[in-house]
């Protein structure tokens, strides 16, 4: 198809699900170059792009509803436009890879489907659909504000967890090359002070490359980037947190943050074994290993409750583990039986009401632990990265200290005197005055 240059491409974007999806969206939008103009609604757009999540049923439902809403808005715009002009509706991401053919049959109004197997072709497919040129190799179009950016280091996953749909959706683990990632990170560091490394299993990075020590060459390159203040690594699988890796991270120092996001999923060995987790032994050993190298580390994890066969005894074991370990941050998810996963066909499925009770009980315990941990920071002065002004009142800002990751953890509210204006994207010293269940408050 021939391409004719246009002055601008008005794009309305919705990126659902995890930060890895957000990076895919930002990379695609970057290829549209300076022609891309973000707009707030489908009615204003030349292109309505929805990057979907298909991981669990609630995410599937959210994605489908968002697509239907975009189709409705596009049709309404076509009906009100004198020339019948209709925004092009493109749907991308995990939902497409999981239910592609069914979606195409059910939603013929969608103009372009972008599955994750063809992610490197997305720019050219969008270009052809818009009849507009793309700019390969251009910087990402960030959507996270001036405080932070995500760096996705790999695609897919090669683990065989029995509850997870990711390998069937995204395929096996594939690392992006070190030089590509360092170049991208250098561009990001010109715009933001914090880079957050994400991947389905960050500790598996490089296992498919001839780099020798997995994460080590990449972290070396990232830690040497000029202007980078904070480097945070998420999705550190317990099996990959070896003494060798921890020793290296200890030596790196700044900008690496001693924040360890370790998705344990459970604590009882019987449940972990049934889940098919790559680390099914005692998770206390991983926690102890991390704290041996980083005594003051902030630990975050996620757990699944109500997995098939989880008994009251298994759950009480998990509760005792959380009480003993004292995580800074913890997420809890009721198990969802996803079509096509081995766990969905298991016997001894747990009742939904029991799942919800267990989730609520574990989160109540964690809320108490979180408040106790945060109260220990009252009276201290902490570095806080300012994200944005608060809408509540002038002089109040929303930020994060080093043990708070965006979107998943709490925040730090910062009050500044009337004559002081704080700039989003800067790190300031804040005297902590108050601790709530998940948030801190202080003065600059």
Does residue 95 contact residue 52 with C-beta atoms inside 8 Å?
yes
Tell me, what's the pLDDT at 324?
Answer: 97
SS3 call for 442: strand
pLDDT band at 2 (very low <50, low <70, confident <90, very high): very low
Sign of CA dihedral 112, 115, 116, 117: negative
Least confident of 44-53, 208-217, 227-236, 392-401: 208-217
Least confident of 14-18, 209-213, 362-366, 367-371: 209-213
Does residue 287 contact residue 249 with C-beta atoms inside 8 Å?
no
Average pLDDT over residues 81-110: 88
pLDDT greater at residue 2 or residue 383:
383
Tell me, what's the pLDDT at 212?
Answer: 62
* pLDDT tens profile 249-286: 999 989 999 999 999 999 999 999 999 987 767 899 99
SS3 call for 54: coil
pLDDT over 80 at 213, yes or no: no
Q: Which residues are annotated as a binding site for [4Fe-4S] cluster?
A: 18, 53, 94, 157, 161, 164
Helices (H), 91-177: 94-106, 122-130, 166-170
pLDDT over 90 at 76, yes or no: no
Q: Which residues are annotated as a binding site?
A: 18, 53, 94, 157, 161, 164
Tell me, what's the pLDDT at 350?
Answer: 97
Tell me, what's the pLDDT at 32?
Answer: 85
Tell me, what's the pLDDT at 306?
Answer: 97
Least confident of 29-33, 78-82, 300-304, 352-356: 78-82
Tell me, what's the pLDDT at 348?
Answer: 94
Least confident of 72-86, 355-369, 414-428: 72-86
| DSSP-assigned letters across all residues of 335-400 | ----TTSGGGG-SSPPPHHHHHHHHHHHHHHHHHHHHHHHHTTTT-EEEEEEEEE-SSSTTEEEEE
Average pLDDT over residues 78-93: 81
pLDDT band at 84 (very low <50, low <70, confident <90, very high): low
Report the C-alpha dihedral over residues 224, 27, 409, 313, rounded to 10 degrees. -110
* pLDDT tens profile 116-143: 988 889 989 998 998 877 776 678 899 9
Sign of CA dihedral 126, 132, 133, 134: negative
Tell me, what's the pLDDT at 81?
Answer: 66
pLDDT over 90 at 86, yes or no: no
* Number of DSSP helices (H) and strands (E) in the chain, helices first: 12, 18
Which domains, from first to last, does the chain contain? 9-130 (3.40.50.12160), 148-375 (3.80.30.20), 381-443 (2.40.50.140)
| DSSP-assigned letters across all residues of 204-262 | GTTTTTTTSSTHHHHHHHHHT-TT--EEEE----GGG--HHHHHHHHHH-TTB--EEE-
Distance between CA atoms of residues 114 and 69, nearest Å: 18
* pLDDT tens profile 141-193: 999 999 999 999 999 999 889 999 889 889 999 999 999 999 999 999 999 99
Tell me, what's the pLDDT at 3?
Answer: 45
pLDDT over 50 at 383, yes or no: yes
Nearest Cα to Cα of residue 303 among 322, 281, 328, 287 = 322
User: By percentage, how much of the chain surpasses pLDDT 70?
Assistant: 96
Least confident of 57-71, 118-132, 353-367: 118-132
Average pLDDT over residues 98-107: 90
Give me the chain's average pLDDT, please.
92
Residue labelled with tokens 């800074």: 328
- Written as six digits, the tokens of 251 are 């030596």
Nearest Cα to Cα of residue 196 among 170, 221, 232, 165 = 232
Distance between CA atoms of residues 174 and 146, nearest Å: 29
Does residue 155 contact residue 174 with C-beta atoms inside 8 Å?
yes
Tell me, what's the pLDDT at 211?
Answer: 64
């Amino acid at each position: 198809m021939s391409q004719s240059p246009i002055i601008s491409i008005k794009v309305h974007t919705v990126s659902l699900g995890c930060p890895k999806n957000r990076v895919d969206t930002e990379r695609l939008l970057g290829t549209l170059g300076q022609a891309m103009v973000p707009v707030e609604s489908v009615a204003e757009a030349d292109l309505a792009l929805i990057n979907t999540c298909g991981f669990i049923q609630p995410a599937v439902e959210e994605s489908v509803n968002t697509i239907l809403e975009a189709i409705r808005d596009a049709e309404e715009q076509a009906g009100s436009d004198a020339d019948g002009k209709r925004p092009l509706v493109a749907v991308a991401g995990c939902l497409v890879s999981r239910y592609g053919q069914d979606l195409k049959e059910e939603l013929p109004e969608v103009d372009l489907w972008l599955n994750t197997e063809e992610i490197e072709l997305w720019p050219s497919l969008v270009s052809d659909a818009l009849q507009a040129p793309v700019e390969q190799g251009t910087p990402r179009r960030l959507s996270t504000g001036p405080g932070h950016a995500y760096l996705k280091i790999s695609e897919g996953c090669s683990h065989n967890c029995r509850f997870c749909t990711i390998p069937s959706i995204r395929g096996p683990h594939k690392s992006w090359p070190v030089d590509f990632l360092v170049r991208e990170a250098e561009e990001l560091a010109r715009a933001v002070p914090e880079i957050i490394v994400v991947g389905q299993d960050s500790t598996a990075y490089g296992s498919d490359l001839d780099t020798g020590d997995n994460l080590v060459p990449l972290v070396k390159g990232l830690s040497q980037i000029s202007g980078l203040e904070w480097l945070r690594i998420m999705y550190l699988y317990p099996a990959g947190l070896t003494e060798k890796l921890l020793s290296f991270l200890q030596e790196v120092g700044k900008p690496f943050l001693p924040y360890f996001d370790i998705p344990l999923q459970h604590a009882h060995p019987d449940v972990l074994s049934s889940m098919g987790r790559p680390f099914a032994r005692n998770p206390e050993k991983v926690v102890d290993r991390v704290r041996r190298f980083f005594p003051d580390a902030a630990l975050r994890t996620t757990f699944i409750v109500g997995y098939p066969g989880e008994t009251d005894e298994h759950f009480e074991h998990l509760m005792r583990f959380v009480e003993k370990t004292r995580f800074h941050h913890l997420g809890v998810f009721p198990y969802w039986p996803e079509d096509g996963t081995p766990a969905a066909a298991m016997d001894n499925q747990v009742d939904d009401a029991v799942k919800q009770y267990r989730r609520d009980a574990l989160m109540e315990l964690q809320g108490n632990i979180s408040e106790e941990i945060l109260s220990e920071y009252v009276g201290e002065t902490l570095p806080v990265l300012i994200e944005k002004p608060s809408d509540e009142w002038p002089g109040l800002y929303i930020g994060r200290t080093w043990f708070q990751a965006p979107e998943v953890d709490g925040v730090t509210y910062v009050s500044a005197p009337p004559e002081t204006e704080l700039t989003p994207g800067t790190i300031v010293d804040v005297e902590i005055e108050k601790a709530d269940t998940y948030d801190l408050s202080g003065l600059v």
